[in-house]
A = this chain, B = another copy of it.
């Protein structure tokens, strides 16, 4: 699932701080390291903030570029701007690599891969124009904002949300499997009931309708036309109504579990003691 990949990525970005584990090179390369990776010096802070602005600017550029009227008029200008920004990102990427000793660790870390994916689409797009928009992935680099501005509280909350989602993912997966089977069966039923009319032209189309309905999105591009179809969709909607409660229930109870500030026992190492525990529940040791 695209969505969980995204959250697993967030999880890695939020947990791994390659900057603190990377070993800088000696001499002038260490200077670069301090500017490029760290943000407690003035030069480093300026570098980071101007990079952030550039990322935001280039993301907006990529989006605005696609508006037909603007594209026709300023095609050239956008091309040069994109070229220039990619050049800066490429230089930055090279600097990041040459100023550290353990290069593989950075290159294959999630952040390193995102940095790489921010520049490569432009070079590919010279041959395959469609690849151009993959560069939007550079938006993920904005997540660096938390470290740059030292937003520890925000980062902690972000990690909290991602962790709660990660822990509830197995239940969500299985719930989605149940849902998908249910949706396919309902979609097929609806195809038979509507007799291939009113937009229900095939089972995949009816399945699309079933998803739109159960998730309460309801575009209205396909809607039942026959009385029996309407009765069936009333049932489906009322079901969707109670089903929507399930992921909420899963995530909410996970949020509450996460909330507990589990204490580790000194003697047996059990980390699962409740916030209000005074004795370890595994070995009975007093917790201070």
Contact = CB atoms under 8 A, between A and B. Distances in A.
Contacts of A161: 171, 174-175, 178, 246, 250
Interface in A127-150: 130, 133, 136-137, 139-140, 142-143
Contacts of A133: 188, 191-192, 203
A118 B66 CA distance: 42
A277 interface: yes
A276 interface: yes
Interface string A154-195: 100110110011000011111111110110111010011000
A113 interface: no
Interface stretch (A24-32, A44-52, A93-101, A265-273): A265-273
B174 A158 contact: yes
A215 interface: yes
**Which DSSP category, helix, strand, loop or mixed, fits chain A's interface?**
helix
Interface in A71-107: none
Q: How large is the interface on A (under 10, 10 to 19, 20 to 34, 35 or more residues)?
A: 35 or more
B251 A245 contact: yes
Given A235-B1, A276-B281, A215 B191 contact: no
**What is the oligomeric copy number?**
4
Interface string A211-245: 11101111111010001001001111111111111
Contacts of A212: 218, 237
A270 to B, nearest CB: 6
A3 B210 CA distance: 13
Interface string A258-288: 0100000000111111101111111111100
Contacts of A6: 182, 185
Nearest to A169: B242
Contacts of A68: 196, 201-202
A282 B254 contact: no
A38 interface: no
B188 A174 contact: no
A246 B165 contact: yes
Contacts of A205: 230
Contact of A244 (B204, B244, B256): B244
A255 to B, nearest CB: 4
Interface of A: 1-3, 6, 10, 59, 62-68, 130, 133, 136-137, 139-140, 142-143, 153-154, 157-158, 160-161, 164-165, 170-179, 181-182, 184-186, 188, 191-192, 196, 201-205, 207-208, 211-213, 215-221, 223, 227, 230, 233-257, 259, 268-274, 276-286
